[in-house]
Amino acid sequence: MIGWLLLALLLGEGIGRARAQISLRSDLVTVDVTVFDAEGNYVTDLQRDEFELRHDGVPQPIAFFEAQIRPELTRPLAVVFALDTSGSVGPQIAEQQQAARQFLSLIHPGSVFAVIGFNDRVRVFQKFTNDPTRIERAFERAREIGGRTRLYDALDRAITLLSREAPRRRDGRIVRRVVIVITDGFDYTSTISHTEVIHRANAAEVTIYSITLPSYVLSVTGRRRVPTLLDASGIVRQTGGRDFSAEERDFTPIFKAIAEEIRASYILAYYPPPEHRRDGRFHEITVTVRRPGLIVRQSRRGYLAPQG
């Protein structure tokens, strides 16, 4: 939701390596940001004053800023692995398990992980833990495959887990909330809509990454990937995530790419204008950078203010 009463700020190398704590009011609004150049390379050397943050189109002072100065200082994560165990995807569970094992070794040791599986129903195989052995066992339990796909319901369950059970801070730093869903991208039996999934993810500050096992059709221009419901829904894009296509069924480079992207992110936060902090309305957030030629991807496009 919106902010915390206490945030820990890790100072960058340019201003020292000590840790300091600062008290911030609970109406602080946060957004995770990734910046690219025209060639798609991550831009990681931006400073606070190179960003502009707007609330409903009006520029706001940035009250909190954090960049990943060094790779070993990457933020801790709370990650839900959402595994499609329907007949179309389930046989790749062993490959997914191997890649996930490497992913765990690439990110902050204070991170925690949960595992859910979904086909006709959604099951939690492992709640949040930092024990790699428990994560591997959860992948093992996900090998019972078959049935149809409840993709949106699974994403909603993952968001709920992150919102209710994931820690907000680990090792004195803000935890980033992430869902990594491995799927064919189709949904057949969910009861929740994609628009509600986006709303709930934005409210819970959750970024969704997808690893899609693609299907193809032949056309006059050659082989073309079939667009999926997940593609059309905009869930990944509107939560600041990215879709990766598992062309060769090799998940290891994809998990490495996700870890690299998370390491390249910034966190920005601001206080909304006083008259908007408890008005119960949706407010748009826009982040841009002053350095020309760069592309910004943000974890949410807005937030719903509390009422009263």
Render pLDDT for 16-67 as a digit per residue (tens, 0 to 9).
333 333 444 578 899 999 999 999 999 999 999 999 999 999 999 999 998 8
Look at the chain and report how many structural domains it folds into: 1
Question: Smallest Cα–Cα separation from 265: which of 18, 42, 62, 64?
Answer: 42
Instruction: Spell out the SS3 assignment of 242-294.
Output: CEEECCCCCCHHHHHHHHHHHHCCEEEEECCCHHHCCECCEEEEEEEECCCCC
Rounded CA gap, 128 and 205, in Å?
Answer: 17
Residue 32 lies in a domain: no
Render pLDDT for 224-264 as a digit per residue (tens, 0 to 9).
777 888 989 999 999 999 999 887 777 889 999 999 898 88
- Residue written as tokens 């992913």? 103
pLDDT recorded at residue 2: 41
pLDDT recorded at residue 90: 53
Q: Yes or no: say if 135 and 57 are a contact pair by the CB < 8 Å rule.
A: no
Q: Quote the pTM value.
A: 0.85
The β-bridge relationship of strands 58-60 and 51-55 is antiparallel
Residue 109 lies in a domain: yes
Q: What does the chain come to in residues?
A: 308
Residue 36 lies in a domain: no
Of 207-211, 237-241, 301-305, give the lowest mean pLDDT range.
Answer: 301-305
- Return the structure tokens found at 29: 């609004």
What is the pLDDT of the chain when averaged over all its residues? 84
Rounded CA gap, 220 and 149, in Å?
Answer: 31
- Return the structure tokens found at 10: 């890790």
Residue 31 lies in a domain: no
Residue 202's pLDDT band, with cuts at 50, 70 and 90, is very high
Q: Yes or no: say if 150 and 187 are a contact pair by the CB < 8 Å rule.
A: yes
Residue 88's pLDDT band, with cuts at 50, 70 and 90, is low
Within 8 A by CB and 6+ apart from 290, the residues are: 49, 50, 51, 52
Residue 216's pLDDT band, with cuts at 50, 70 and 90, is low
Rg (CA), the chain: 19
CATH code of 209's domain: 3.40.50.410
Does residue 146 have a pLDDT over 80?
Answer: no
Residue 306 lies in a domain: no
Q: Yes or no: say if 60 and 54 are a contact pair by the CB < 8 Å rule.
A: yes
Question: Is the C-alpha dihedral spanning 136, 259, 235, 285 positive or negative?
Answer: positive
The β-bridge relationship of strands 206-212 and 216-219 is unpaired
Residue 230 lies in a domain: yes
Residue 150 lies in a domain: yes
Highest mean pLDDT among 76-90, 146-160, 236-250: 146-160
What domain range includes position 135?
A: 74-263
